[in-house]
A and B are shown apart, each in its own frame.
Chain A
Amino acid sequence: MNFPDSWPSDCPPQDAVDAEGDVFRIVNNDQPTADDFLTSFETGAFPNRLACLRCGLSVHRIRADAIHTKTKYPKLENRIAKGTLAKECGKTKRTGQASHTTWWVYEGVNRASIFALIAEEG
């Protein structure tokens, strides 16, 4: 279980912990695909952002927080998927506000397969 060599040497940060538990991610497809789980490092977006954060994926620990993010930025993807992480999935760390968590994924992990769409109210 390794992280890509192309990442900065101190990434993930030392205080990141083994991934575990339920997380929620905003996705665009009814059946989440690999495209829904690309980091900004992989897409090339936000080049001015901290390099290590660019290598991670944003997820929320609380479903309501994911819905809240979606209402703040309606042009983000429009569905919410839930996944249960385990230590084989990578490392995580609470970053930013609310239950926002950055997930650094080990090489070779099929990210989309961990997630399934959840029903939403309203």
Chain B
Amino acid sequence: MWNISGKAFAKERFEPFIPVEVLDDYDGPRLFTLQDAEGELNLACWSDEDEQVCRYVVVPTTPKILASLRDGGISVFDALNQPRCWLCDINQNGEIAQCLRVAFETIPSDSLPAIGTMLLPTLEPLLTLRAVGNEIVPGQIPGSVIRACIEGVQKAFKVLSEYVLEEPAHAGRPKDFLRRLFDLPTQRFAFASFEISFRMPIEEQTLFTSFGEKSPEAKTLEEVGTLLKKGLKWLTTAAAEEGVYSPDNPEESAVVLRALKELTPSSQGGIERLELKGQLIGPRNTSMVLDRSARQRVNTAIRFRSLGPQPVDLEGRIRELDMDRLSFELREINRTPPTQRFVFDEELLEDVFQAVQDGVRVLVTGSTFPVKNLAYALALSRVMETET
């Protein structure tokens, strides 16, 4: 155990050191609430131990902090990071051997919960991204960094979900699920670096576990996760260094590479490194790190497979608008094939909706994925129709 440098404190304040409510237990209470001599509520977290004592970090807390801890609004580290902090050593008789007032920042990081770790595994975000770069400093985070993190995830998710949802087994998903799937709720922001966590779009205990009955929504989400994990794993292989992606399923390769392109840091811009963790990519001891070389590997693989997006300018009428999935089919195109499916971002929805209402011909500008006759619509303009 490490040596504490702190100010001795009257241990009577926390006697008897007995939990009021145990929030987490593993071979004994590890995280629990505790009342002090003044009847105030405190949070105690097991930090370390030797043969003589168990050491706890003790901080004042409130019902609001505890509620936020329980619902995943804050991590265990955040709940402990308070202006006042004590370290209490408890002996084998359950008595306080010593209690010291310390600054939270002086506690070794390996004696505290890892930053961002939630109270329960089920509260862990779907996906957390932490952007690292010289320009990313507290109070001065470029807007482009925030945009890249949010849009990168949204677009990667959209590409993978579109692919999964096209499978026959996934037809007829409820609309509210699709809405949440394509516009993932945010669980948490942290600005010390820039970190954003996306919340699960559904609540299901058996999600990402190997047992129990799964809802169709859970299966969809797990398949998206499987594709992403496959891609992220590929990035760490020798094949990725050569820029060669598995050729066994061309369509799957295309969507996975496209999603990876959205997630990896661009060679330009403020993000030098992205650290990923979350239930979507599975349990890990440390975050998965994507640096700029990862983008280069993805780009090489895309070029190798001739999967680079091609610009498309197509004229036709918008039909089959799916407002939940933000997709439509363009029909009556004057070339082969006569139809093309597009996905688009929220900001284009109003233009698309108007074009459907008016039934007019439009010019859609975008780029191909290219996969399953699918393209990304970037802009829309009306076409003047001449009477024949």
- Is A71 in contact with B117, judged by CB distance below 8 angstroms? yes
Min CB–CB distance B207 → chain A (angstroms)? 11
Q: Is there contact, CB below 8 Å, between B28 and A72? A: no
Give residues of chain A (33-83) contacting chain B, Cβ–Cβ below 8 Å. Answer: 39-40, 44-49, 53-54, 57-58, 62-65, 67-76
Contact of A47 with B93 in the complex, beta carbons under 8 Å = yes
Q: How far is the CA of A122 from the CA of B277 in the complex (A)?
A: 10
Q: Are B283 and A69 in contact (CB under 8 A)?
A: no
Interface residue tally for chain A (C-beta within 8 Å): 35
Could you say which residues of chain A place their CB within 8 Å of the CB of B119? 97
Q: Which one, A47, A64, A74, contacts B110 given CB within 8 A? A: A74
Does A5 count as interface, using CB distance less than 8 angstroms? no
- How distant is the Cα of A64 from the Cα of B117 in the complex, in angstroms? 13
Q: Is A121 an interface residue (CB 8 A)?
A: yes
Q: Does A86 make an interface contact (CB < 8 A)?
A: no
Once the chains bind, are A98 and B120 in contact (CB under 8 Å)?
yes
- CB contact under 8 A between A73 and B92, given known A58-B27, A64-B283, A97-B120: no
Given contacts A120-B285, A121-B282, contact A48 B94 (CB under 8 A): yes
Q: Give B110-121 as 1s and 0s: 1 = Cβ < 8 Å from A's Cβ atoms.
A: 111110010111
Q: Is A100 an interface residue (CB 8 A)?
A: yes
Measured in the bound complex, the distance between the Cα atoms of B26 and A53 in whole Å is 10
Within B83-115, the residues touching A (CB, 8 Å) are 92-94, 110-114
**Of B46-54, B129-137, B156-164, B172-180, which stretch is located at the interface?**
B46-54
In the complex with contacts A47-B93, A53-B25, A64-B30 CB distance below 8 A: no
Contact B283 A40 (CB under 8 A): no
Given A62-B209, A97-B24, A46 and B29 contact (CB-CB distance below 8 Å): yes
Q: Does B124 contact A (CB under 8 A)?
A: yes
- A75 & B49 in contact (Cβ 8 Å cutoff): yes
Which of A39, A68, A122 has a CB less than 8 Å from the CB of B288? Answer: A122
Q: Are A121 and B283 in contact (CB under 8 A)?
A: yes
Q: Which residues of B contact A40 (CB under 8 A)?
A: 27-28
Closest to B112 in A: A74
Q: Is B76 in the interface zone, CB < 8 Å from A?
A: yes
Contact call A72/B113, Cβ cutoff below 8 A: yes
Q: Is B122 an interface residue (CB 8 A)?
A: yes
**Complex CA–CA separation, A109 to B93 (angstroms):** 28
Mask, B293-327, CB within 8 Å of A = 1, is 00000000000000000000000000000000000
- Say whether, besides A45-B92, A47-B92, A39 and B284 are in contact (CB < 8 Å): no
B366 CB to nearest A CB, Å? 37
Indicate whether B18 reaches chain A with its CB closer than 8 angstroms: yes
Number of interface residues of B (CB under 8 A): 45
Instruction: Say how far B198's CB is from chain A's closest CB, in angstroms.
Output: 18
A108 interface residue per 8 A CB criterion: no
CB B376 to nearest CB in A, in angstroms, measures 32
A53 to B288 alpha-carbon distance, docked (Å) = 36
CB-based nearest B residue for A62? B209
Minimal Cβ-Cβ distance residue in B for A40:
B28
**Contact flags B229-242 to A (C-beta < 8 A → 1, else 0):** 00000000000000
Known contacts A46-B29, A62-B209, A97-B120; A72/B283 CB under 8 A: no
Question: How many Å lie between the Cα of A121 and that of B111 in the bound state?
Answer: 22
B113–A71 CB distance below 8 A? yes
Q: Which B residues touch A58, using CB under 8 A? A: 25-27
Closest partner residue, chain A, to B19 (CB atom): A48
Cβ 8 A contact of A72, one of B29, B30, B208: B30
Chain A residues with Cβ below 8 Å from B23 are: 97
Whether B17 is near chain A, meaning CB under 8 Å from some CB there, is yes
Measured between alpha carbons, how far is A106 from B127 in the docked complex, in Å?
42
Judging by beta carbons under 8 Å apart, are B111 and A100 in contact?
no
Q: Which residues of B contact A31 (CB under 8 A)?
A: none
Closest 7 CB pairs of A and B: A122-B284, A46-B28, A64-B283, A47-B94, A68-B121, A67-B283, A96-B25
**Contact surface of A with B, Cβ cutoff 8 Å:** 26, 39-40, 44-49, 53-54, 57-58, 62-65, 67-76, 95-98, 100, 120-122
5 additional contacts (CB under 8 A) given A64-B279, A98-B122: A45-B92, A46-B27, A47-B92, A71-B285, A72-B117
